[in-house]
Amino acid sequence: MGASLPTLFRRPAILWSVLAAALAAAVVTVLLVVPGTDDGPADGNGDYLDASLPVDERVDDLLSRMTIEEKVGQMTQVTVGAIDPYPTDVAEYGIGSLLNGGSEALFSTAEEWAAMIDGHQAQALDTRLGIPLMYGIDAVHGNTAIPGAVVFPHNIGLGAAHDPGLAGRAAAVTAAETRAAGIHWTFAPCVCVARDSRWGRTYESYGEDPGLAFEYAGPVVQGYQGEDLAANTSVLATAKHYVGDGGTAYGSSTTEDYLLDQGVTTLTEDELRSIHLAPFQAAVDAGVGSVMASFSSTDIGGGPVKAHADEYLITEVLKGELGFDGFVVSDWQAVDQLSDDYNEAVRTAINAGVDMVMVPFEYKAFIAALLAEVESGGVSVERIDDAVSRILAQKFALGLFEHPDADTAGAADIGSDAHREVAREAAAASQTLLRNDGDLLPLTGQESIYVAGSGADSIGRQTGGWTASWQGSLNPPTEGTTILAGIQQVAPDAAVTFSEDASAPVEGADVGIVVVAEDPYAEGVGDAGAGDHDMAVSEADAAAIATVCGAVECVVIVVSGRPVEIEPHLGATGAGSGVDALVAAWLPGSEGAGVADPLFGATPYNGRLPVTWPHQTDDEPLNVGDPGYDPLFAFGFGLQTA
C-alpha cells in the first residue's frame, strides 16, 4: 500500500507538496470506490443508538458510518481459542463474532462463561462505533458446555416422540440455560432429512421424512428465539445445514471413500425442494435469524456444486424465493474447501451469498483477502453492505446495543428440577417399543431384575456426541441420571442386580434388562465404516444379550443415534430363548429416568420410528416408499402401551 504516514512526514520538505497532493488524490479515489466510509459522527454517536427507532433505520444509520474495514470485521467469526492469546485483536480488527469450537475449553459455571465473554465484549465496545459482538455455540441438545446443564434427547429421539411442541419446550429450556451464560447464539436446529442411517449425523435429524423436519422446524426455532429475541431467555437460532446434507451418497465424500459426511447429494431439483428444502421454508417462516451452509455439495444437474459456492440456492432460492432476511453463516473452515487460491475461495463464498464466515483461525488472512477482493472489484460494496446489514439487524434484535453484557439472572435455573422434568418427559416420549411378546412390558416394579449392557450405567453413551465436546466422551463432565439409576428411582421396590458384562450369576432373576449402546461419535468420524464406528452391536453387548436372554425373560434397550443390526441377536421369544421386548431408546440425554418411566408403566410407550430400521447395514439407504421396501421395522412403527 506504500509508505505509512509517519514515514511520509520524514521525507525531505521539498517532496511534501507533491506527496500530499498524491495522497489526497488517493483518498478521493478510495472514497469513490468504497462509499459510505465514516461520513457521520465517530465514537459511538448516532441514531443507531436510539432504541426507539425501527431496526432497519438503525441498521442504515450505522452502516453509513462504517469503514470498509469495520464492515469486513463484522463478517468475520473467529473461534475463541484463536483470539484468546490476542484479546485486543477483537478491537483492532473489529471482529463481529466469536464462537466456541466443539472441543475448546469449558467453564464450570454460567458466571465463568459470562465473565469470559464480557471480557471480549469490552474489547468490541472499545471501538470507534462500539458495535457489540455475538458469541455462538453448538447448544444442539442443551448447553452441554456447562456440566450442570440439562441434556435433552438428540433430534432423532425427539422425532420419535412425534411431538413438535415438546421439542419446542426443550429448545426454550436450552435457550434459557445458554443465554444465562452470556451466549447469544446457538447453531441449532439441524433440519436435515437423514436418508441413509450410515451417516454419522443421523441423530441430528428428526428423521427420514421431510414432513417431520418441516413440522419441527417452526416450533423449535420459536423455542430458541422466544417472543422477544432480546430477552435473557432467548438465543438466536440457526437452521442447518443448507441444503441437502442428509442426502449425500455413500462414498461420495472427497475425504474418504466410505464417508457420507461432506459428500454429494444427487437428485432432481424437484426432489431437492420436496425433501430437503421444505424444512428451511418452515424455519424461515418462523423467523429464524441465521442459516448455516452445508459442507456437502448438491448436484441437481450439471455436476456437483459446493453449498458454500451455490449462488443459485443461497441467494436466489433461500434469500429470494423463501424470503430469508437473516444472515447466512459458513460452517467451520468450509470456505477453504472452495479453492486452493484463498482469495478466490473467499470471493466465491461471499458472492454466493455467505454473509458471515466461520474462519475460524486465520482471521487476519480472511480479512486481508476480503478487503483485497473489494478493492479489486471482485466483491462489490453492495454485496458487503447486504451482508453486514443482515448481521447488524440480528444484533439489534438481540438487544446487544442496549445490553451488551451478560445477564446471568437465570443462572440459578440451570439444571433445575423444572428443566430436568422437561428433559425427562422428552426422553420418555421418545421411547419406541418394537417388540413386546407376551406383554412383558410394562414391568410391575416388584420384580427381581438383572441389568447388564454397556449403556446401562453410562452418561456418556446415553448423551452421545456434541456433549461437552464435539465427538462426545464416555466420561463427559455432564451431570445426570443413568438408565440404571433411573430404573432404581422409578422402581424402588425392585431388587436390582447390575453386571455390565453379565458375568454375575443370572439365576434367581425374574427378568433381565440388557442396555446395548453405541460409543459416542459425531460427524465424519461416526459414519458407518469410519474407524471404530458402525451399526453393529458390540461383541460385549452381544454376549450380554446371549447370557441374560438365554436365561430369563428379557428386555433389550438400544441406546443409539440410529438403527443398529439387532436382528441376529433377537432369537426366539419366551423365557430363556431370546429377546421378548425390544426398545429403541435413541440418545435420551441426561435424564435416564425417562427411559425407565414407560418401562414400568409410569408413562405409556408412544414413540414411533422416525427412520426405517433395516435388517442389516448393507440395506441402506432404505426409506419408506422405496421400491421393494422390506425393513425389519418400518418407518412409523411403534407399539403402544396403556
Whether residue 208 lies in the annotated active site: no
Contact 564, 537 (CB under 8 A): yes
Contact 360, 99 (CB under 8 A): yes
Contact 538, 564 (CB under 8 A): no
Considering only CA atoms, which of 241, 238, 282 is closest in space to residue 260? 241
Cα 450 to Cα 428, 443, 619: the distances in Å are 21, 13, 34
402: phi then psi, degrees, rounded to nearest 5: -85, -35
DSSP 8-class letter at 108: S
The identity of residue 464, as a single letter, is: G
C-alpha cell at 524: 465424519
d(CA 296, CA 301) in angstroms, rounded, equals: 16
d(CA 443, CA 596) in angstroms, rounded, equals: 10
In sequence order, the β-bridge partners of residue 584 are 432, 558
Question: For the chain, how many residues are written?
Answer: 642
CB neighbours (10 Å) of residue 28? 10
> Grid cell 437465570 — which residue?
410
Where are any strands of DSSP class E within 27-83?
76-79
d(CA 432, CA 444) in angstroms, rounded, equals: 19
Q: Would you call the peptide bond into 308 cis, given omega within 30 degrees of 0 as the criterion?
A: no
**Contacts of residue 25, Cβ cutoff 8 Å, sequence gap at least 6:** none
In sequence order, the β-bridge partners of residue 99 are 79, 136
C-alpha cell at 44: 459511538
Where are any strands of DSSP class E within 168-304?
185-186, 238-242, 264-266, 290-293, 297-299
Contact 398, 53 (CB under 8 A): no
Whether residue 285 lies in the annotated active site: no
Q: Which of 209, 261, 331, 355 is catalytic?
A: 331
d(CA 138, CA 202) in angstroms, rounded, equals: 16
d(CA 133, CA 356) in angstroms, rounded, equals: 13
Kind and range of the H or E element at 450? Answer: strand 448-452
The identity of residue 256, as a single letter, is: E
342-352 and 381-397 helices cross at what angle (nearest 10)? 60
C-alpha cell at 208: 427420514
> Grid cell 500530499 — which residue?
20
313: phi then psi, degrees, rounded to nearest 5: -75, -35
Q: Which of 245, 500, 523, 591 is catalytic?
A: 523
Question: What is the edge-to-edge ordering of all strands in the sheet holding 97-99?
Answer: 185-186, 134-137, 97-99, 76-79, 357-358
The identity of residue 618, as a single letter, is: D
Contact 434, 573 (CB under 8 A): no
d(CA 193, CA 196) in angstroms, rounded, equals: 9
Contact 190, 276 (CB under 8 A): no
Q: Would you call the peptide bond into 360 cis, given omega within 30 degrees of 0 as the criterion?
A: yes
- The residues that are catalytic are 331, 523
